[in-house]
Amino acid sequence: MESRLVQFVNCRLLRDHSIVKDDFWVRNGKIENPEKLFFDEKVQADVQVDCQGAIIAPGFIDLQLNGGFGIDFSHDIAKVEEGVAKVAKGILAHGVTSFCPTLVTSPAKLYHQNLPRIKCREGGAHGATVLGVHLEGPFISPQKKGAHPIEYIRTLDEGFQTLMDVYSTLDNVSIITMAPELANAPAVVKELSNRNVTVSVGHSMGDLRQGEIAVQHGATFITHLFNAMLPFHHRDPGLVGLLTSDAVPEGKTVFFGIIADGIHTHPAALRIAQRTHPAGLVLVTDAISALGLQEGTHQLGQMVVEVKDSHAFVAGTTTLCGSIANMIECVQHFAKATGCSMVTALEAASLHAAQTLGIERKKGTLQFGADADFVLLDDDYTVRSTWISGECVYKNPQYNK
């Protein structure tokens, strides 16, 4: 079964930054080069799949997902493995084939208990691939804490040792968000980068120079641009200025997450970000446990959240605390708000996220040899089906194929 050569016909492919009409070949969970099949192996497809004119795009990758479907990764300690599995399964319907479970600022006990249990694993019918944990805090600014509980926010008094005391392990950790203005932050950023952990600046009062120093020491990402950071100012644009900074090392790209849910980021701000630095834009949901649920009261880490009129607030306040939008909704809103091409919108949800983690040869692409993780879409971005390693893991019930 695994060695079947599958040919997808009557489809359009997102490849090499354009949408082309071509067949799509998959075998052993990888994307195949048809020229080698025809001229070297002289083989034919074992199975043909008629895509009925659909677009085949790389599977979406969500680098910031706090939970969903009633699950909160920063609160459900007892059943965290089951919770991650439930969310991984649920997001297949949104075209997501890989994600980073995200933990918000929490007590050290939670990190010690949860981190070893949120293991990286390949996706399949059981759910999307777990790429590693995104630790959003607790080394952030109290002034830009957002929905993070202030009593658990920490400084880096003893540098990297303090970080390890709080987290206990970096196994299975892919991204860490921290405020670059903290004392000892540059050295910590450098050490994390040397350990192949993606460092993101965010939840910060940092100015542009402090952001540039972090980037020069290895930071490569900005957590939910515009949110929980100093607003743009013409004399010091803050972390937003990293999008056009001339102090970024040559050949290095600063990527930035952005929440295109129609609530966190104004359409004009989306347009500014997209037109200023399109190659770095990464769509993230920042979704919380209320994703996929009705309005009401829910949990985010140590805080109670109220969801009303599609907004999620810290209970009793007007502080936004994550979204309830799914990835395909963010893609649709982003495309509409910016007027960008379908290629631009889809790569913001796939290729750029993979590049952020340095896995763009395997994920976020339909290049030959990459993992066969992809989504079939209509021209209005409706998900027809989701595939991981060349196997259909979700089929929209409104379609027969």
Residue pair 38/197 in contact (Cβ under 8 Å)? The answer is no
What pLDDT score does 76 carry?
62
Is 271 annotated in some ligand binding site? no
Predicted structure pTM score: 0.95
Residue whose structure tokens are 């810290």: 314
What pLDDT score does 401 carry?
47
CATH 2.30.40.10 domain locations along the chain: 5-57+365-395
Count CB-CB contacts under 10 A for residue 350. Answer: 32
CATH 3.20.20.140 domain locations along the chain: 60-357
Is 203 annotated in some ligand binding site? yes
pLDDT tens string for the chain (401 positions)? 458 999 999 999 999 999 999 999 999 999 999 998 888 888 889 999 999 999 999 999 999 999 999 899 998 667 899 999 999 999 999 999 999 999 999 999 999 999 999 999 999 999 999 999 999 999 999 999 988 999 999 999 999 999 999 999 999 999 999 999 999 999 999 999 999 999 999 999 999 999 999 999 999 999 999 999 999 999 999 999 999 999 999 999 999 999 999 889 999 999 999 999 999 999 999 998 888 776 777 766 676 778 777 777 777 787 776 678 999 999 999 999 999 999 999 999 999 999 999 999 999 999 999 999 999 999 999 999 999 999 999 999 998 64
3-state secondary structure the chain: CCCCEEEEECCEEEECCEEEECCEEEECCEECCHHHHHHHHCCCCCEEEECCCCEEEECEEEEEECEECCEECCCCCCCHHHHHHHHHHHHHHHCEEEEEEEEECCCHHHHHHHHHHCCCECCECCECEECCEEEECCCCCHHHCCCCCHHHCCCCCCCHHHHHHHHCCCCCEEEEEECCCCCCHHHHHHHHHHCCCEEEECCECCCHHHHHHHHHCCCCEECCCCCCECCCCCCCCHHHHHHCCCCCCCCCCCEEEECCCCCCCCHHHHHHHHHHCHHHEEECCCECCCCCCCCEEEEECCEEEEEECCEEEECCCCCECCECCCHHHHHHHHHHHHCCCHHHHHHHCCHHHHHHHCCCCCCCCCCCCCECCEEEECCCCCEEEEEECCEEEEECCCCCC
**Domain 5-57+365-395 class, CATH top level:** mainly beta
Is 322 annotated in some ligand binding site? yes
**Residue 234 structure tokens:** 């013409």
Is 227 annotated in some ligand binding site? yes
Active site residues: 286
Is 209 annotated in some ligand binding site? no
CA distance 365 to 362: 7
Task: Among 3.20.20.140, 3.90.1150.10, 3.40.50.2300, 3.30.428.10, name the CATH number for the domain at 60-357.
Answer: 3.20.20.140
Is 224 annotated in some ligand binding site? yes
CA distance 337 to 2: 42
**Residue 305 structure tokens:** 């959240």
Is 202 annotated in some ligand binding site? no
Give residue 136's Cα distance to chain centre: 13
Is 326 annotated in some ligand binding site? no
What pLDDT score does 276 carry?
97
